[in-house]
Amino acid sequence: MATNMRDIKREIKSKQNTKQITKAMELVAASRLRRAQEAALAARPYAEKMKEVVASIAAGTKGVKHPMLESRPIKKTGYLIITSDRGLAGGYNANIIRKLTLMIQEKHKSTDEYVLFVIGRKGRDHFRRRNMPIVEEVTGLPDSPSFADIKSIASAAVGNFEQGAYDELYLFYNEFVNALTQIPTAKRLLPLEEVGGSTAAANYEYEPSPEGVLEVLLPKYAETLIYSALLDGKASEFGARMTAMGNATKNATKMINNLTLTYNRARQAAITQEISEIVAGANAQS
């Protein structure tokens, strides 16, 4: 009995240590979530305004032609997926990886028909283990990433499409709604069909020409969408981690309570047994 009580006490101590860790991680994620959420929300108006300007130029420039606006027969597809470097974030990584994997299985018969651009160690390791074609990767991003941190992979993803390396580019990320809700999202990033003709042309003068401005803005617009998705992904990551660690803390509390109850019952049984032995010994001497 004493050995069993020592095991239970050791288990309670272990669960208490785990609870302290998960609680600390929950608080850290909550503090980082606030900053990440502010950055994600602040980036959305900028992306919308850039879309408005691009649409205005495209609407006012008749017969404009640009590789990023033209659809072509789909022979090869590019995918850019945003995951995290660390785990312990619930289904944050698994949900978006599963969504991309299902699309690849549905659309492609061989690895020659697609390429991957991966942001985040979790996604990179997953696809690398399965020998899937990763063209470029970025890992080790800070909690508050700047555009410079992903400029290389964003430029490569957009530039390869312009050069005809593939005929469409999809963006996979977790859209941030709130700390409890993150939506795995797949968006066709290129070609940018939706910008053309969606907005009336504004009365602007462009130097050197509308076509020249459009040629510069279109790649920047696509890269801005990637960066905005990254900020959404960061906010989603911290929200998912805060929720997961909160649930882990609650589960640890329940386990500690159950183990404490078991320990008290075992202790009470041991005391009762000792009293019974003392009484039996006293009766034997009388």
Q: 125 and 204: one domain? A: yes
Q: 16 and 47: one domain? A: no
> Comparing 18 with 4, which gets the higher pLDDT?
18
Dist CA 55 CA 41 (whole Å): 22
| pLDDT tens profile 245-285 | 999 999 999 999 999 999 998 888 888 888 887 777 767 77
Q: 184 and 81: one domain? A: yes
Angle at 26 between CA 232 and CA 31, to 5 degrees: 55
34 located within any domain? no
Model confidence at 2, in pLDDT bands (50, 70, 90)?
low
Concatenating the DSSP letter of every residue in 129-172 gives HTT--EEEEE----SS--HHHHHHHHHHHHHHHHTTS-SEEEEE
Query: Quick one: which H or E segment has residue 54?
Result: helix 2-60
| pLDDT tens profile 14-63 | 999 999 999 999 999 999 999 999 999 999 888 888 877 787 777 666 66
pLDDT at residue 133 tops 50: yes
177 located within any domain? yes
53 located within any domain? yes
| pLDDT tens profile 207-256 | 777 778 888 888 999 999 999 999 999 999 999 999 999 999 999 999 99
Would you tell me the crossing angle of helices 147-162 and 210-285 to the nearest 10 degrees? Answer: 130
| Contact indicator for 167, 76 with CB cutoff of 8 Å | yes
